[in-house]
Structure 1
Amino acid sequence: MASNNSLNGGELSRYPYRVVLVQVLVSVFLCINLFLITTFFMEAFFYTSMRYILFAITLLSDSLFLSGTNVLLILNYFRLTMQMWLCLIIFIVSYLYVFVTPVTLTAMTLERYVAICMPLRHAELCTTRSALHCVLIIHCLSSVPCIVFVSIFFASAPLSFYKQHRVCSVEMLIFHRWQSHLRSAISEFYFLIMCIIIVFSYVQILKAAKAASGDNKKSTGKGLRTVVVHGFQLLLCLIQLWTPFIEAAVLQMNVMLYVYIRYFNYITFILAPRCLSPLVYGLRDKRFFNALKYYVLCGLYRKQSSG
């Protein structure tokens, strides 16, 4: 909904198995995130380390965003209406967390850049206090597009609109066509800046990897791969911004093709990018993965490994 990409329940009413598939994917995603978030809070090292704090923010952000859009999908599927003021609140929360994840990924990339290219200053710059300040800055930056959109909405919507009962969708909150164009322009500007930061960090870490040797080379190589995965996630998020234009063009040609493409876009560009974060840190990070196995297996893993 927040990105004009949420599936419309009316479109899927003839395809209930697709809704069921989305429920299965979202449920699996949320269960994995629950394990990861629990692991994060069970180890003091994780919630005092900047990289893991930012990782936890992406998990919470993705969980809130997918939970909100999934609830709206179910409400739309059953054609349940709500007052538009409540729809607006749901939109604000969803729209905020559309940006929190990519902005946090960018911050995580910068943290890896500092760790590899400025190792002597890493402990000074990436403290727990700095991480908390970074989280605040992330949410402030992510709220700017939302504030712009909501300000325009307040200036355009009559008071009677807030009490109307309708099926909640982002289209209900857009009164002028230029609102959509402005929203897309702001989003694309944000993602352009983030892509520049990702490319800059990649190039600098690549230089460090070429100059490194031994254990340092292995560390920089791992950091390089992490930046590549972050870049791929941002690419999927960027494509997500273009999908409404593609869908609008397809809708003019073939309604059935439009339904298929919109469903494909939801799975590929909404669900998929938010499933990569657990893979990047939950599975690729050895320390976090060992802790995760320990808690999932109720302590059996550590006993076996120590024996």
Structure 2
Amino acid sequence: MSKNSTAENGSIGSSPMGRTVNERVLIVQVLVGIFLYINCLMIFTFFKKEAFHNNVRYILFSHTLFCDTLFLIISDTLLVINFSGTTMPAGLCMVIYAISGLLNFATPLTLTAMCLERYVAICMPLRHAEISTRRRAIYCIFVIHAVSSIQQFIIFSMVVLSSPPSFYSMLLVCSVENLVFVKWQQNLRSAMSQLYFVAISFTIAFTYVKIMAAARAASSDNKKSTSRGHRTVLLHAFQVTLGLVMLWLPLIETLVLEADFNAVKQLRYFNYIVFILAPRCLCPLVYGLRDENFVLVLKYYVLFGFYKRISPIKIPPS
């Protein structure tokens, strides 16, 4: 980096625009800190209550929290790096983005698996105990990460095949545009994201329609459970929709980048708040705080053991 660019970066920090950027980054840090605290508290609650360990719903929920927590840490670090203009070796940037991308896709895929679990519980109740087991939940998590890694492996391979050896030690601001710099690579990345979008959307729509049909046919005794499952899937659908919109962001940011380079940072800030932070703060609200058993255990640890209504809780294995 030249002395002129360094001086420009120094002057930006004291300019009105620089102060606005610093304020925005500070706001993000506060929000991320709050969400990380909530997520870590819920992960701690899951591990402290053994009854949660054999229930597929809680296993998948804890996996979502774990992926969201790591993704928030990495994505927030990249946001600060991008706004500050800090550079790093291209090889390190590739590894960071590969991990970030894997975690990013793991969350909507896990939510899709949770919707399928609710579909089995409501529409196939006699087979639910057979299908929804702890072992299968663990296998499902491995499949989720395998599917999530497909796009990252292809993008990683494209960069490796199209870049000279000197590229990996080159210092650059860590962003996808600096890694995927050929037009057809950007198009392929966008097309794969849309494929994920269509597959996940179809699966969630299928479970929603089936649970709706089961709700209409359910007896009065099962209405409450079916209605709760229907609301859960609907909330998951909204959460996943926010998350899946992010799969369109590479295409949108590419179009904006061609029109106005300075507008990309503003767009990324908005996208980060609405399509990255928002879906991940909804997860504890949608699943954790709506679950009576989980809330009781959570209250016990939040209040340092003074909340005593936890003892009679009996959680079914699936």
1:5-34 Cα distance to aligned partner (Å, 9 max, x none): xxxx99974521100000001000000001
User: Equivalent of 1:240, from 231, 239, 246?
Assistant: 246
Q: Does the CA-based 8 Å contact 1:50-1:128 persist in structure 2?
A: yes
1-structure distance, mates of 2:310, 2:48: 20
Aligned to 2:284: 278
- AA matched with 2:195: F
Compared CA separation, residues 254 and 85, structure 1 to 2 (3 A): closer
Aligned: 1:110 with 2:99: no
**Amino acid of the structure 2 residue aligned with 1:276:** L
Question: Cα offset for 1:135?
Answer: 0.7
Deviation at 1:51, TM superposition (A): 0.9
CA contact (8 A) 2:193 2:248 kept: no
Judge which range, 24-33 or 275-284, deviates more.
275-284
Shift of the alpha carbon at 1:262? 3.0
Tell me the amino acid that sits aligned with residue 157 of structure 1: S
Q: Does 1:201 align with 2:207?
A: yes
1:184 aligns with 2:190: yes
Instruction: Give ranges in structure 2 of 5+ residues lacking alignment.
Output: 1-8, 313-318
2:219 to 213, 222, 243: 213
Residues 1:93 and 2:94 are matched in the alignment: no
Q: Distance in 2 between matches of 1:40 and 1:177?
A: 45
Structure 1, unpaired ranges of 5+: 1-8
After TM superposition, give the deviation of residue 55 of structure 1 in Å.
0.5
1:116-155 aligned within 5 A: 116-155=122-161
What is the alpha-carbon distance in structure 2 between the residues aligned to residue 154 and residue 257 of structure 1?
29
Measured in 2, the distance between the counterparts of 1:137 and 1:173 equals 27
2:162 to 156, 165, 185: 156
Indicate conservation of the 8 Å contact 2:194/2:248, yes or no: no
Do the aligned residues in 1 keep the contact of 2:106 with 2:144 (CA within 8 Å)? yes
Normalising by structure 1, we get a TM-score of 0.91
Amino acid at match of 1:59: L
Counterpart of 1:45? 51
Partner residue in 2 for 1:3: none
Cα offset, 1:193, TM superposition: 0.9
In the alignment, structure 1 residue 19 sits paired with structure 2 residue 25: yes
Distance of aligned partners of 1:224 and 1:186 in 2 relative to their CA distance in 1, 3 Å threshold: same
Q: Is the 8 A contact 1:191 1:234 kept in 2?
A: no
Secondary structure at the counterpart of residue 302 of structure 1:
coil
Which one-letter code corresponds to 1:84 in the other structure? A
Aligned residues: 298
Aligned partner of 1:67 in structure 2 is: 73
Shift of 1:245: 3.4
The share of aligned pairs that are identical, in percent, is: 52
Give how far 1:184 is off: 1.2
Q: Is the 8 A contact 2:82 2:174 kept in 1?
A: yes
Q: Alpha-carbon deviation of 1:231?
A: 0.9
Deviation at 1:75, TM superposition (A): 2.5
SS at match of 1:166: strand
Deviation string 1:167-195 (CA, Å, 9 cap, x unpaired) is 21111111311111111111111121111
1:248 CA drift (Å): 4.2
CA contact (8 A) 1:13 1:77 kept: no
Does the 8 A contact of 2:297 with 2:310 survive in 1? no
Deviation of 1:263 after TM superposition, in Å, equals 1.9
Q: What is the rounded CA distance, in whole Å, between the counterparts of 1:45 and 1:305 in structure 2?
A: 12
Partner amino acid, structure 1, of 2:279: P
TM-score (norm 2): 0.88
Residue type of the alignment partner of 1:218: K
Aligned-pair CA distance for 1:253: 5.5
Who wins on radius of gyration, i.e. which is larger? 2
Structure 1 position 290, deviation (Å): 1.0
Q: How far off is 1:213 after superposition?
A: 2.5
Counterparts of 1:258 and 1:87 in 2: how far apart (Å)?
Answer: 19
Contact 1:156/1:175 (<8 A) preserved: no
